[in-house]
Each structure stands twice: as structure tokens, then as C-alpha cells.
Amino acid sequence: MTKTPVFRGSCTALVTPFTPEGVDYERLGKNLEKQYACGSAAVLVCGTTGEAATLSGDEHNELVRFTVNAVHGRMKVIVGVGGNNTAAALKKAENARAAGADAILMVTPYYNKTTQRGLVKYFQDYAELSTVPVIVYNVPSRTGLNIEPETYGILAEHENIAGIKEANGNISKIAETMDIVGDGLWLYSGNDDQIVPILSLGGVGVISVLSNIAPRETHDMVMSYLDGDVKTALSLQLRYTKLIKYLFSEVNPVPVKAAAAAMGFCENVLRLPLLPMEEAHEKVLLAEMRKQGLLV
């Protein structure tokens, strides 16, 4: 079953700019304009990088509504849902659809983990109820639950399950998955340090943390590869290896929030249990950003 990809290129997993009082919508609007100007094909709102687990239901809904209205069809808008409360996640998915989102990104259940059979039921039920495409998100380092290639093969048979954001870090398993699903699921890298390797396995883009602070560079990396210029894509992947490493030197989104704040995209405000980046780690991160010309 051949499906249409939700997007091709770079999608930014947006940080949520907070103040101590709430969401900073003025800065969010400016960040969205920056993403569009730098070529991003899509944005993800209310994902892990957006501290979705700390958002109230009203904040989640308003973030989606604001983003859809601000983007105004110029980029695809993907909304993070899913989790360990299926009923609540279904409600978020419906609100995203009603607001005009283009797709939903569904993370696997966590804490109350399930079997591979449970995963099939979980994703298929969402896909049946959703009128927008579903991208499955596999991030076992956070959830403690991995989607196996054979499970992807079953999910690929559903017409409304459109793609995979794969962050299991296991290139061999990803290759096995793509051999099974063929063109039944579109593959997106969920790890910035594996963009080019995953593109080489048939990927069509990335859902990226790096592109919060380097949107043009991330766009160029992906599109160079998709346009056949593998040498340029590889050069960019290698060039940003250290920066990507430092962006994950503490739990995401702590480092990227510090980086974005240094660039004026937000305040360095996180919600507990997250705290601002350790000073020693931040110093190394900002030094690499200066080296790459992202900071003066």
C-alpha cells in the first residue's frame, strides 16, 4: 500500500517558550516565522521537546490552535499525542484534528507498558478514530518499550498510519523494518545524529531538535540528500556531530532550551522536574554554537 508522506524534509520539534506565568505566544509566533523562512517543511508542537508532559489540557489545545493559525498552511503542523492515558490522548488527538492540524505524532505507551499485540491495538484504534494521518513515534530510551519490525509490518497495513518517527538508535533494526514495510510507512529520523544514515535506508526527513537553533542547516542536510547530493548531506551531518552531542548532554529539552534562550528565541524557563542546564555543560554547548556561527 503506497501512502503519501506527511512531509518531506525537516520538521522542527519545537520548544515551548515559557515565562514563569505561562506560554510566551509572542516568541512562539516569531519562532514559527523563523522556521518558515529557513525552509522547514513542518513543525511539531506539544512533543517531548515542547515539554508536553507538563502542559495542561487547555495549554495543549491553545498551543495547537495558535500554531495552526500562525502557520496558515505554509508548513505542515504535527501535534504530539499518545502516552499512558489512552482516553486523554484520544481527546487531544480529536482537538488537534478540530484545530486543523495536518497529522498527529503518537508516542508509545510508557510506564503502563504493553505487548507488541497491545501496541497494534493501541495504534490501530487511534488510526480508526483519527481523520488525519498518524505518525508512530518509537523512543524506547524514554518509554522502555520498543516497536519490533514485525509490528510495524502489521501497522503498515492500516491506511491512516502514515509513518514512523524512529528513535530506537538501532540502524540494523531500522533496516529490517524498512525491508518489511516497503512503501507502506514513511520513515523519519528521530535522532539528529542519524539523519543521513536513516535517509540512506529510505527515510524522507527528520523530526529534529537541532533545527530549533539551526533550521536552515538541518533543512539543507535533508534536502541535499533527497536531491541526490549525498556528499553535502554527509558533510553537514559530520560538521554538526559535536553540536548534536552537546544538545543531548543532558535530558532533552534542557540543553536546546538553553541554546534557544542564548539566541533570544525564548527564556531559559523549564517546568519541573526539569531544571536549567548545568553551567559546565552549558559553557561547552555555547562554545560550540559560537564555533558554528550560531552565536556571536
- The CATH number of residue 136's host domain is 3.20.20.70
Beta-strand pair 9-13/42-45: parallel
218 is in which domain, residue-wise? 9-229
Residue 53 · residue 16 · CB < 8 Å: no
Report the largest interatomic distance among the alpha carbons of the chain, rounded to a whole angstrom.
52
- The amino acid present at 131, given as its one-letter code, is T
Place of cell 488527538: 93
Query: Which one of 126, 165, 225, 257 is the catalytic residue?
Result: 165
Reported as a pLDDT band with limits 50, 70 and 90, residue 75 is very high
Reported as a single tens digit per residue, the pLDDT across 239-252 is 999 999 999 999 99
131 half-sphere exposure, CB direction, 13 A CA radius: 8
Reported as a pLDDT band with limits 50, 70 and 90, residue 2 is confident
Alpha-carbon distance 113 to 119, whole Å? 9
Rounded average pLDDT over 267-275: 97
pTM for this predicted structure = 0.96
Report how many domains make up the chain: 1
Alpha-carbon distance 43 to 262, whole Å? 21
Residue 277 lies in a domain: no
Reported as a pLDDT band with limits 50, 70 and 90, residue 212 is very high
Residue 243 lies in a domain: no
Reported as a pLDDT band with limits 50, 70 and 90, residue 55 is very high
- The amino acid present at 70, given as its one-letter code, is A
Beta-strand pair 18-19/22-23: antiparallel
Burial label for 91, CB within 10 Å (0-12, 13-18, 19+), is middle
Question: Annotated catalytic, 165?
Answer: yes
Reported as a pLDDT band with limits 50, 70 and 90, residue 127 is very high
Reported as a single tens digit per residue, the pLDDT across 154-182 is 999 999 999 999 999 999 999 999 999 99
Residue 2 lies in a domain: no
Residue 262 lies in a domain: no
Query: Which one of 137, 152, 240, 246 is the catalytic residue?
Result: 137
Question: Annotated catalytic, 291?
Answer: no
Beta-strand pair 161-166/42-45: unpaired
- Among 107, 115, 123, CA closest to 53: 107
**Given this model, what pLDDT does residue 1 score?**
66
Residue 289 lies in a domain: no
**Given this model, what pLDDT does residue 135 score?**
97
| 3-state secondary structure (DSSP) of residue 191 | coil
Burial label for 113, CB within 10 Å (0-12, 13-18, 19+), is middle
Residue 52 lies in a domain: yes
Residue 255 lies in a domain: no
Residue 247 lies in a domain: no
Cα–Cα separations (whole angstroms), residue 213 to 79, 262, 285? 20, 10, 12
